[in-house]
A and B are shown apart, each in its own frame.
Chain A
């Protein structure tokens, strides 16, 4: 790996987001919904921060990552002495920078007029927030890789609405008892915003968070990045160019 190449890739990725106006679109997407958030509760505001950041991150981070893995830009960079790890590391650096900017831009709105708890609790909250975001991103990428054969997480964004939709429509309750139990278990395994809020609540001194959520939060990104690593090992960055 080479820091020169990693930074070169990161710079090009940031250029992409800025010049294609993805940054502007993501910024509007994460800032506008704050006009609707009407709660003095810190928990609600942190949940909103997680939700809005996730949308922005998926738009700019996951979209760009799928470019790297599936498109020819990744392939052409590799023909210039660049390893797949250089490209992925460059992309990671760019995604982290952009996500940090997204979060920082929301902070003044999110915490306006709120008395913050102890710093350690806040750090813990942000750790869980990151886990939730990474988990969702990993899950979207994993589904896209399996279903479409490519890492187009943006195409999978509808999955975000799947669990609440199924639960709200009570579809699960209409299934035979055994199937319903399995479906409920499956839905519970999806990393949901509720998992995040209960975790935040636990961190703020509320009731303890369910044990299953952290497990899913940790497993989803690991499974995805293992899958990506296998593809990198097989040197298949150009696998879709001729299809």
Chain B
């Protein structure tokens, strides 16, 4: 199947004006990513990892210095921009002096829709993001959560095939976040490919079919949320780790020694049960911590280690 978005070795450096002594920032250093139709890919990474820059390149709003970007199987012509691609920025970049419905009307007009179709799309988008009651409100007077909803509304007014979302889940209240997750899930089920940059790990874990961890301007690792078990592990720092591991493994075969740490899957047991067993077999425990296998834990495990995958789909 043809990839909806394909990025290979995308690099981008920002250059400032001479007033800032020509300073430059290397935002992307060879980003690779492929997304198939109906896939929701999460982008996760520390600030400055290059997520926003990559989304701007994928939206056709920034030209990479090198590398290849292709949409729906073809690269963009020098004067065109990718069709069927919508972008929702992190902050409000919409005309603040217009009302919500006027802003959506403006974007719908740019698609050269007929009057009836335009009104239909605007109404549909307002309903879908739950902004109908605020249609007359000025964009400048919207809360951050409402701006995020407006962002998604302006994006879907053009019925895109690829939706690029930059931190769209931030700033939403719990109910709004749940509604937004439902909305994105619905769009994904309709076959829209979504690339979502977010620091909201819980949402990414539940929404994304694949999560790409970005670091230093490139894809550092890929996580399959289906593999996240949610199981708890007791991590022990002990005296004489090899000896302690042999003693504990005689009672708990699943215990493993990773470096100087003993990792003991808890299953249905409590940490106190395991600590009592350690005492019983004469293991000197210096410290203990319970870790749950979730996206946050995997992210922190990955982010300080060398790259695990050269290709994000590997």
Contacts and interface: CB of A to CB of B under 8 A. Distances in A.
B59 interface: yes
A60 B291 CA distance: 58
Interface in A211-243: 233-239, 241-243
Given A72-B89, A76-B87, A80-B110, A235 B14 contact: no
B299 interface: no
A20 B107 contact: no
A71 B16 contact: no
A127 to B, nearest CB: 33
Interface in A126-147: 145-147
Contacts of B184: none
Contacts of A75: 56, 61, 87, 89, 93
Contacts of A81: 83, 110-112, 158
A146 B17 contact: yes
Interface residues of B, number: 42
In this complex, the member of A146, A233, A235 whose beta carbon has the largest number of chain B beta carbons within 10 angstroms is A235
A77 B110 contact: yes
Interface stretch (B94-102, B170-178, B226-234, B270-278): B94-102
Contacts of B106: 8, 12
Interface string B63-86: 100000000000000110101011
Given A80-B158, A146-B17, A238 B95 contact: no
Contacts of B155: 79
Nearest to A232: B79
Interface string A40-73: 0000000000000000000000000000000111
B6 interface: no
B298 to A, nearest CB: 27
Contacts of A146: 17-18
A80 B63 contact: no
Contacts of A79: 59-61, 81, 85-87, 155, 158
A149 interface: yes
Given A5-B112, A241-B56, A76 B89 contact: yes
B62 A235 contact: yes
B20 to A, nearest CB: 7
B212 interface: no
Nearest to A77: B110
A72 B17 contact: no
Contacts of B98: 12, 15, 19
A184 interface: no
Interface string A69-100: 00111011111111100100000000000000
A166 B98 CA distance: 44
Contacts of A242: 14, 27, 52-53, 56
B1 interface: no
A231 to B, nearest CB: 10
B95 A235 contact: no
A73 B111 contact: no
B314 interface: no
Interface of B: 14-20, 25, 27, 52-53, 56, 59-63, 78-79, 81, 83, 85-87, 89, 91, 93-95, 97-98, 102, 106-107, 109-112, 154-155, 157-158
17 contacts: A12-B95, A12-B98, A12-B106, A15-B95, A16-B95, A16-B97, A73-B94, A76-B89, A79-B86, A80-B154, A81-B110, A82-B110, A234-B63, A235-B62, A238-B62, A241-B61, A242-B14
